[in-house]
Amino acid sequence: MFASAELGHKIDKETYDAEEPGLRAALLDAQFDLAQQCRFPVVILVGGVDGAGKGDTVNLLNAWMDPRHIAVNGLGAPAEEERMRPEMWRFWRLLPPKGRIGIFLGSWYTQPIIGRVMDGGSADQLDSAIDRIVRFEQMLIDEGVLLVKFWFHMSKEDQYRRLKRLQGNPAARWRVTRTDWARFRRYADFRTVSAHTLRMTSSAAAPWIVLEGTDERYRNLTVGKMLLAAMRKRLDSADGKAGRATTAPLPPHLDRRNVLASLDLASSLTKKAYERKLEKWQGRLNLLSRDRRFRKRSLVVVFEGTDAAGKGGGIRRITGALDARQYRLVPIAAPTEEERAQPYLWRFWRHIPRHGNITIFDRSWYGRVLVERVEGYCSESDWQRAYGEINDFEWQLADGGVVLVKFWLAISKEEQLARFKQREEVSFKRFKLTPEDWRNREKWDQYEEAVCDTVDRTSTEIAPWTLVPGNSRYHARIMMLRTVVRRLERVLAEV
């Protein structure tokens, strides 16, 4: 959930100064149209890590737009009037009417998350609260509300620095309270619980927009642009209705920094070191596959990656360590007729291994949010809802004892070209290269965006993505073997 928001996003001053005036004017226009049309209200939720600039951003929106038509609701602990009434009363009374914008700094998410992390609430209580939130937001959307949800994230180190800096500044010292430090000490718990909550409440009509709060200029431009895009989409639609298929846009990375671009593709390994390590990790994997405790678990390994990134080679290094009776390799191509007559995930459910067994997917259910999204094989609403469906699916696997390892194998654009050329030249490799590969290459940027969204939305505690730099085949293979082994060791230790 948060990987993309820990990359140190930054916008330089020149870019910012060039963009700001136009953005402000466009936001004012949108606000004017909103009031004129008076067809729907805008509800903006602002949540996230303390010190990540939530308050500053709200002030900025107020400064950029006409504050007479924005109501900012800073919600702390409930006042007496509010405690004497049902919990949701305070939010209902603050909802903006049609034509207006209401910003909630602190919202219906605050109490459930804090309750779980700080006040000993159970996981089931949190899920029960999430269920109510989902119903509440669905109702808002059905009623025509444009709901835009921002989550300001910061890495633990950045938050520490931020709190320290505020404390060292006499004019800002009052902003750092004991509560802030008490919460900071539970950073890891907040991260886990927030990620879970955000994932479960990211619907197609109101996905969470997670952004890094460290750099003020990046933060401001991102919030402004996302809000503008969401408002314009509704304002310019014929009936001003959201409908199911109309979804808010995903966050762009204004500085073109993303989880893929941040991979160190140069990592490499000598042949000698490779052979030594290969033997070591394959040996450990073989031992694990015959471990008694593995009879109560099963393993699913997903290989996704750029064309020619070396998925096949990686798979063979893993199967090389396994007994052929114990694993199945499932290559995913176009669905069969039988599969097309079923819900999308059916074709993957049928290959789920029983305990003690292993299934390796060469491409997977992520096709829907990758190739199907980019090539337009399914509608936007289909791939938007797929993130949630996939998370549910993987949760069910994990709950059923399946250990899930997911690889994205990445190579640089230049490396891909070199490998394509090589395949063309070597006759026994020629079958591997199809015209489709060249076509996909032309859509490199679109695929990159789809991959980053996928990692952001489907990397979970129970099924994290491992991004593998693949320019060096040796390095990539060892990294994947090691990841599988370490993951299995950790899980089996808990059996």
Please give the Cα distance from 30 to 146 (Å, whole number): 13
With vertex at residue 371, the alpha carbon angle to CA 370 and CA 374, rounded to the nearest 5 degrees, is 85
Among 12, 56, 236, 392, binds its own copies (CB under 8 A): 392
- 462 makes contact with its own copies (CB under 8 A): no
The interface region with its own copies, picked from 17-25, 305-313, 362-370, 396-404 by CB under 8 A, is 396-404
Among 67, 97, 249, 331, binds its own copies (CB under 8 A): 97
Structure tokens at 306: 């750029």
* N-to-C CA span, the chain: 27
Which residue number, 171 or 334, has a Cβ lying nearer to its own copies? 334
Mapped onto helix, strand or coil, the DSSP state of residue 336 is: coil
Full DSSP string of 274-311 = HHHHHHHHHHHHHHHHT-GGGGG-EEEEEEEESTTSSH
The distance of Cα 234 from the centroid of its chain, to the nearest Å, equals 24
The interface region with its own copies, picked from 29-37, 130-138, 151-159, 408-416 by CB under 8 A, is 130-138
Structure tokens at 200: 């479960």
- The closest alpha carbon to 46, from 217, 219, 170, belongs to 219
- 397 makes contact with its own copies (CB under 8 A): yes
- 430 makes contact with its own copies (CB under 8 A): no
Please give the Cα distance from 476 to 310 (Å, whole number): 8
- 182 makes contact with its own copies (CB under 8 A): no
- 173 makes contact with its own copies (CB under 8 A): no
Window 263 to 302, contacts with its own copies (CB under 8 A): 298
Q: In what order do the strands lie in the sheet with 146-153?
A: 70-74, 101-105, 42-48, 146-153, 208-212
Among 290, 316, 355, 439, binds its own copies (CB under 8 A): 355
Please give the Cα distance from 402 to 469 (Å, whole number): 26
The interface region with its own copies, picked from 2-10, 61-69, 257-265, 341-349 by CB under 8 A, is 341-349
State the nearest-atom distance from the C-beta of 87 to its own copies, in Å: 6
- 77 makes contact with its own copies (CB under 8 A): no
CA distances from 369 to 244, 341, 344 (A): 18, 20, 12
- 124 makes contact with its own copies (CB under 8 A): yes
Among 128, 169, 179, 336, binds its own copies (CB under 8 A): 128
- The closest alpha carbon to 115, from 147, 77, 86, belongs to 77
- 134 makes contact with its own copies (CB under 8 A): yes
Alpha-carbon torsion 282, 285, 287, 290, what sign? Answer: negative
Please give the Cα distance from 278 to 346 (Å, whole number): 35
State the nearest-atom distance from the C-beta of 99 to its own copies, in Å: 7
- 66 makes contact with its own copies (CB under 8 A): no
State the nearest-atom distance from the C-beta of 393 to its own copies, in Å: 9
Please give the Cα distance from 146 to 97 (Å, whole number): 11
State the nearest-atom distance from the C-beta of 453 to its own copies, in Å: 19
The interface region with its own copies, picked from 61-69, 119-127, 276-284, 427-435 by CB under 8 A, is 119-127
Among 36, 37, 122, 262, binds its own copies (CB under 8 A): 122
Q: Name the helix (H) or strand (E) containing 152.
A: strand 146-153
- Judge contact between 27 and 64, C-beta under 8 A: yes
- 335 makes contact with its own copies (CB under 8 A): no
State the nearest-atom distance from the C-beta of 285 to its own copies, in Å: 21
How many residues form the binding site for its own copies (CB under 8 A)?
A: 60
Among 17, 56, 87, 236, binds its own copies (CB under 8 A): 87
The interface region with its own copies, picked from 122-130, 406-414, 421-429, 474-482 by CB under 8 A, is 122-130
| Site of interaction with its own copies (CB under 8 A) | 38, 41, 81, 84-89, 92-93, 95, 97-99, 122-125, 127-128, 130-132, 134-136, 139-140, 142-145, 244, 298, 338, 341-346, 349-350, 352-356, 382, 385, 388-389, 392, 396-397, 399-402
